[in-house]
Amino acid sequence: MIERLRNVFQHETQSGDLYECRDCGTTLDHSVRRCPSCRSDEIACYEL
């Protein structure tokens, strides 16, 4: 059961949503709430 949960988690982290800064286009980690490059908080989320 634990192994199954781990597989789901890895699947989501590897091919989950894509987060990108709307201002400069930098690809961001899902946990980032503000762009480290331009400090914009306009984060776009694309579902893959």
Q: What Å distances lie between residue 17 and 1, 2, 3, 5, CA to CA? A: 25, 23, 22, 18
Query: What secondary structure does DSSP assign to 18-45, as a single string?
Result: EEEETTT--EE-TT--S-TTT----EEE
- Is 28 a binder of Zn ion (CB under 5 A)? no
Q: Which is nearer to Zn ion, 6 or 22 (CB)?
A: 22
Among 11, 37, 41, 44, binds Zn ion (CB under 5 A): 37
- Is 43 a binder of Zn ion (CB under 5 A)? no
Residues that bind Zn ion (CB under 5 A): 21, 23-24, 26, 35, 37-38, 40
